[in-house]
Amino acid sequence: MADIKTAMKAGEKDRLAALRLVSAAFKQFEVDNRAEVDDERAVELLTRMGKQRRESIAQYDGAGRGDLADKERFELDIINGFLPEQLDEAAIDAAVAEAIANSGASGMRDMGKVMGLLNASLKGRADMSQVSARVKARLAG
């Protein structure tokens, strides 16, 4: 809410609109579930919003709508600013290797076990679709 006030005072219309989208998503969750948004739920909601923006960017770029893709990228930057620091590729690879070792996974049939471990530890700190692709590559190879 403080960021919304700051954006209003500074006259940053685009930033204000993006912040209001985040605020509206939180309020919608609170109304639908009759519960306050805690830190875990906030990360979950923001992660979902980020995923939606990435999918939209891919679709807009594919359709040649750079203007709409740029708007989505801006909103994604705002959303990512509220998420925990994202892990780099080396840290993700290390987590994948550790999860595979801990679960005793030996093939693609064990992917669910590995992703279960990773989902708990990396949620909100890494793009889980990229993590899933890395797990598939490791288990298939």
Say how many CA atoms lie within 13 Å of 29 toward its Cβ: 19
123 with 64, same domain? no
| Chain segment 70-91, per-residue pLDDT in tens | 999 999 999 989 988 888 889 9
Residues 63 and 105 in one domain: no
Q: Do 97 and 132 have their domain in common?
A: yes
* CATH code of residue 112: 1.10.10.410
| Mean predicted confidence (pLDDT) in 18-37 | 94
Under the phi-then-psi rule, with left for phi > 0, alpha for psi from -120 to 50, and beta for the rest, what region is 124? left
For the question of whether the overall pTM of this predicted structure is more than 0.95, the answer is: no
Task: Identify whether residues 57 and 99 lie together within a single domain.
Answer: no
Higher pLDDT pick, 57 / 86: 57
- Of 61, 80, 99, which residue sits at a domain end? 80
**Tokens representing 137?**
């590559």
